[in-house]
Amino acid sequence: KVEADSDHYSFLRRGIPTLMFHTGLHDDYHRPSDDVHLVNLAGLEPVVRLTLAALLEVADSPEKRLEFRSRCLNESNASRSRLEAAAFLPPGSTSRWGIGTRFDDANPTIPVVVAVRVASPAARGGLQIKDRILAINDQSLRDQQDMVSRLSDVPPGGIVEVTVAREGRVLSLSWQE
């Protein structure tokens, strides 16, 4: 059930669709008295990029217009979990691997891992934040887009071999959905 003190309650009360990007639980919750040192700038960048991409997708695609679901006001965590579990991932979506990467100006051919979703195929396969992805299935990467394309090409249920650099060592990881 949506509580009246939640950040998005005022939108929901007026029937305005909302989308909340949850970055995980943490000890420091925001309040008007917060100081800037509590802002996780490194963690903020991938969330802002994802938010912008989602907004542009909706804004540029009138057929994907979001409709307000009034029943959301009475949904529980259990019903939310069922909805999330059934969420559609397009065929070949890299989201299924559970990673977030960023472009590195210092070495544009090597994406840097900035997020690993808990219990995702990448997490189960040993990927860690700050790993640098060198190759997919023994093929060196040209850039971040090449990585996305190669991960998208792995068939559902397939296995992908990922070569990463971590703290000066090169490691081979295996991910499977």
User: What one-letter code names the amino acid at 148?
Assistant: V
Tell me how many domains the chain contains.
2
CB environment 6-45: b (16+ within 10 A), e (fewer): eeeeeebeeeeeeeeeeeeeeeeeeeeeeeeeeeeeebee
Q: Containing domain of residue 79, as a range?
A: 9-85
- 117 and 134 share a domain? yes
Residue 41 lies in a domain: yes
- 103 and 155 share a domain? yes
| Joined tokens for residue 112 | 């840097």
For residue 138, give the CATH number of its domain.
Answer: 2.30.42.10
Is 123 buried (19+), middle (13-18) or exposed (0-12) by CB count in 10 A? middle
Residue 2 lies in a domain: no
Of the candidates 56, 85, 114, which is a domain's last residue?
Answer: 85
DSSP letter at 155? P
Q: Could you report the per-residue pLDDT of 52-66, keeping only the tens digit for each?
A: 888 888 888 877 777
DSSP letter at 118? T
- 75 and 141 share a domain? no
- 123 and 172 share a domain? yes
- The pTM of this model reads 0.50
Is 92 buried (19+), middle (13-18) or exposed (0-12) by CB count in 10 A? middle
- 136 and 103 share a domain? yes
- 66 and 106 share a domain? no
Residue 105 lies in a domain: yes
| Joined tokens for residue 77 | 């965590």
- 26 and 72 share a domain? yes
Residue 67 lies in a domain: yes
Going by C-alpha positions, the residue among 134, 158, 156, 157 that lies closest to residue 146 is: 134
The predicted structure's pLDDT at residue 133: 96
Better-predicted residue by pLDDT, 27 or 132: 132
- 143 and 120 share a domain? yes
- How high is the mean pLDDT of the chain? 81
Residue 51 lies in a domain: yes
Q: Is the pLDDT of residue 88 over 80?
A: no
- 104 and 79 share a domain? no
Going by C-alpha positions, the residue among 99, 132, 133 that lies closest to residue 118 is: 99
- 122 and 80 share a domain? no
Residue 1 lies in a domain: no
The predicted structure's pLDDT at residue 172: 98
| Joined tokens for residue 142 | 């040209």
Q: Rounded CA gap, 138 and 108, in Å?
A: 18
- 81 and 112 share a domain? no
Residue 25 lies in a domain: yes
Residue 68 lies in a domain: yes
- 113 and 166 share a domain? yes
- Using an 8 Å Cβ cutoff, are 23 and 47 in contact? yes
Q: Return all residues near 4 (Cβ < 8 A) that are at least 6 apart.
A: none
The predicted structure's pLDDT at residue 28: 62
Q: Which residues pair with 115 in a beta bridge?
A: 100
